[in-house]
Chains A and B, each alone.
Chain A
Amino acid sequence: MRLLLFLSSILLVAVANTSLAETTVDNPFYVGVQTGYGNTDWARLVSQDDLSATATPVTATGDGVTYGLLAGYQVVPRIAIEAEYLHFADSHLTFMTPNVYNVTDVTSKTNYYALITKVFVLTNSDFRLYGDIGAARVTSASELADNTHTGLTFGFGADYSISEHWLGIFSFEYTPGTAVAAENASAQYVPYLYSLTLGMAYRF
């Protein structure tokens, strides 16, 4: 809660200072699509010894194409707020038998929803660099369990003004998941997410 208050205060100060901006933003709203490479990281769950293999997977892969939507508002030239959605490639978990779930292969689906604040570094060209931070909600669904984790997300990237209305975006984003020390750890784990995406947005 303290953390959310702190992050909210950053956003509020940024928005409240709109009148202090060096220049105004012509087309502050933008919507777009994004796609790229995503990794759902199960490394903290993958069993390292035979005893834990009765409850956690022996292998887990979660690489593949990720895609989604974005919508944002450029508050001032150096600050934007953005809502994001990404669908990650299916993760495939393999369990040793016997195990506490009586399964061998499990497919898990992961979705990511986030609200982030971007802080830009302007350059002399149409390129901008940025770092971002925000809150993310990650859903992880499989035959073992449907889990949801709300936490932080972080990233950095660059964008390029292709024209007055079109914006190209290159983004790296990292979203920590969560793990629990329990016999059914596999049913409570939410993977850690990495994404590297290219986006195209229309500004209006």
Chain B
Amino acid sequence: MIPIVGAAVVEPAKDHFFYAGVIGGYANVDWSPVVSTDNATLPTDPTSAEGDGALVGVDVGYQLNPYVQFEAEYMRMPTSTLTYSIASHRDYGPLSSASTMDFWSVLVKFIAPLGDTGLSVLTEAGPGYEQRADNVADVNAFTPTFGAGFLYRINPQIQVEAVFQYAAGTGVSEVNPMNDYVPEIYAYTFKVDYLFL
């Protein structure tokens, strides 16, 4: 290649790099499949379950190129409040109890930049792991997780994301389904990542 004397030197934009950041947002931990809807299920299932609230977390990732990123994330989901009927035949202790949810996932993100706006749309998918803990059971489950949202480069070293993410959870049909139920998660996340260029 013949060097062009006097040509402007332009650093090529680095398109593969590591990044790390923090996650905040809102999530719904969905207990609806185990909330009792008739008298027959009253003795074993909660009569109501509230799983809405704030989530916090951290993420680390690697951008392979401007269109593909790999990411690992941890999120502490909102604590749910489960309420049981006085007809509950189990020794749950208080009729109202708290359930915590921790969530880990590893994702592949497909990114489509929208022209030169700095804004991109993305979809993501990967394996997730949910960890439920309360006074009825400590249950863990691997789950598929998926998401979609927007990514924006505020400046060369900061990317922000607004992403909806879903995790499928698990459940079984048994007399005491609360023993094995792991809720579905609907999370609306906002991420701020620092790019190690």
Which A residues are closer than 8 A to B by beta carbons? Answer: 2-3, 6-7, 10, 13-14, 17, 19-22, 43-49, 51-52, 55-56, 76, 78-79, 117-122, 129-133, 152, 154-156, 174, 176, 178-185, 192
Contacts and interface: CB of A to CB of B under 8 A. Distances in A.
B56 interface: no
Given A19-B115, A43-B172, 13 more contacts: A2-B188, A6-B149, A6-B164, A20-B114, A43-B170, A45-B173, A46-B173, A121-B110, A129-B110, A131-B108, A133-B146, A133-B147, A181-B177
Given A119-B110, A119-B123, A179-B171, A20 B116 contact: yes
Nearest to B180: A48
Contact of B68 (A7, A20, A121): A121
A6 B161 CA distance: 13
Contacts of B147: 133
A42 B38 CA distance: 22
A182 B41 contact: yes
B34 to A, nearest CB: 5
Given A6-B188, A129-B110, A48 B174 contact: yes
Rank and list the top 9 A-B pairs by shortest CB-CB distance, nearest first: A20-B115, A131-B123, A154-B146, A78-B112, A183-B40, A179-B33, A48-B174, A133-B148, A131-B110
Interface in B99-117: 108-117
A182 B34 CA distance: 9
Q: Which of A117, A130, A154, A185 has the most CB of B within 10 A?
A: A154
Contacts of B109: 131
18 contacts: A20-B116, A44-B170, A47-B174, A48-B174, A52-B173, A121-B67, A121-B110, A130-B123, A131-B110, A131-B125, A133-B146, A154-B146, A155-B125, A178-B33, A181-B33, A182-B37, A183-B38, A183-B41
A3 B185 CA distance: 13
A131 B165 CA distance: 13
Q: How large is the interface on B (under 10, 10 to 19, 20 to 34, 35 or more residues)?
A: 35 or more
Contacts of B188: 2, 6
Contacts of A121: 67-68, 110-111
Contacts of B144: 154, 174
Contacts of B36: 181-182
Contacts of B108: 131, 156
B149 A174 contact: no
A48 B67 CA distance: 45
Contacts of B186: 3
B34 A79 contact: no
B184 to A, nearest CB: 7
B123 A133 contact: yes
B168 A44 contact: no
Interface in B134-180: 144, 146-150, 164, 166, 168, 170-175, 177
Interface in B37-94: 37-38, 40-41, 45, 67-68
Contacts of A76: 112
A20 B119 CA distance: 11
Nearest to A134: B148
A2 B188 CA distance: 10
A51 B148 contact: no
Given A117-B148, A181-B34, A13 B119 contact: yes
A7 B173 contact: no
Contacts of B174: 47-49, 52
B20 interface: no
B35 interface: yes
Q: Which of A76, A130, A176, A192 has the most CB of B within 10 A?
A: A176
Contacts of A180: 32-33, 37
A46 to B, nearest CB: 6
